Amino acid sequence: MNEMDMTQIPRHIAIIMDGNGRWAQKHKLPRSAGHQQGVEAIRDVIKMASQLKVRVLTLYAFSTENWKRPEEEVSFLMKLLVEYLKKEIEELHKQNVIIRTIGDLSAFPLRVQREIEKAKEKTAANNGLIMNIALNYGSRNEIGRALKTIAEKYKEQIISSEDFTDEIIGAYLDTKGLPDPDLLIRTSGEKRISNFLLWQIAYAELYFTDVLWPDFRGEDLIKAIVDYQLRQRRFGGLG
């Protein structure tokens, strides 16, 4: 904590929460226990991010590719999400957290969609940390949906080809209104992006750690931020 520069806190941190299955395997438990334990990490990281006045925390919870997993695991993850929202919503609300999502929620069961909607509505007027949960999220799917909307507006002559700027394209993505991530963290030692925020991470700093997501805590977030603060961001210029 002492090494941290409180004036250089990333505005937006995105996390690929990976390694739940391997955590479970290591503890000789079923994969579901790893996902369950992952909730502890979420709780701790939200608390720390709020305390540090991070503006946006985007958490990759379920990808468009995760439907390939056994049905049993997919439905466990849905159940866990609903339970999490029901159980934590009061505490999140008290912490002034705003819940948002990115991804195509229409693929989820209605009761899951309703629970998410409720959490969003309840926290919409808060002004603390934006907890942005990526659910049935895939960057290519997001860009495809954005293109479809842009094509429709173009056809209706609401926008012209001059409007195809970075800013306007960004405004059709699910992350509209949010700053781009400054820092992208992936846990569990994998060094890939897995279809996450491809457009938005153009200039994010990448941080990979071997810590498995269920073991990740506020102090690991601090480590990542301290590492981020040692980097020189040049954005193509000379710094």
Please, which residue, 16 or 173, has the CB nearer to ligand IPE? 16
Residue 61 is a binding residue for ligand IPE (CB under 6 A): yes
Residue 101 is a binding residue for ligand IPE (CB under 6 A): no
Dig out the tokens for 72 from the structure.
Answer: 């049993």
Residue 84 is a binding residue for ligand IPE (CB under 6 A): no
Cβ-proximal residues to 50 (8 Å cutoff; 6+ apart), any chain: 95, 96, 97, 128, 129
Instruction: Restricting to residues 176-195, name those near ligand IPE by CB under 6 A.
Output: 188, 190, 192, 194
In degrees, to the nearest 5, what angle opens at C-alpha 220 toward C-alphas 216 and 223?
A: 160
The CA–CA distances, whole Å, from 3 to 9, 13, 114, 216 equal 12, 19, 43, 19
Q: Contact region for Mg ion (CB under 5 A) — 12-20, 37-45, 100-108, 109-117?
A: 12-20
User: Residue 196 CA to chain centroid, in angstroms?
Assistant: 9
With CB under 5 A as the contact rule, the residue among 18, 88, 182, 220 that binds Mg ion is: 18
Cβ-proximal residues to 219 (8 Å cutoff; 6+ apart), any chain: none
The reply to whether 66 belongs to the active site is: yes
Residue 24 is a binding residue for Mg ion (CB under 5 A): no
Count residues binding ligand IPE (CB under 6 A).
Answer: 18
Q: How far is the CB of 198 from ligand IPE (least distance, A)?
A: 13
When CB distances are held under 5 to 8 angstroms depending on the partner's kind, the choice from Mg ion, ligand IPE, none that residue 57 binds is none
Biggest CA–CA distance in the chain, Å, is: 59
Q: How far is the CB of 101 from ligand IPE (least distance, A)?
A: 13
The reply to whether 18 belongs to the active site is: yes
Are 56 and 12 spatial neighbours (Cβ–Cβ below 8 Å)?
yes
Q: How far is the CB of 187 from ligand IPE (least distance, A)?
A: 8
| Interstrand relation of 130-137 and 12-16 (parallel, antiparallel or unpaired) | unpaired
Rounded to whole angstroms, the Cα distance separating 7 from 2 reads 13
When CB distances are held under 5 to 8 angstroms depending on the partner's kind, the choice from ligand IPE, Mg ion, none that residue 61 binds is ligand IPE
Q: How far is the CB of 167 from Mg ion (least distance, A)?
A: 33
The catalytic residues are 18, 66
Residues forming contacts to Mg ion in the complex (CB under 5 A) are: 18
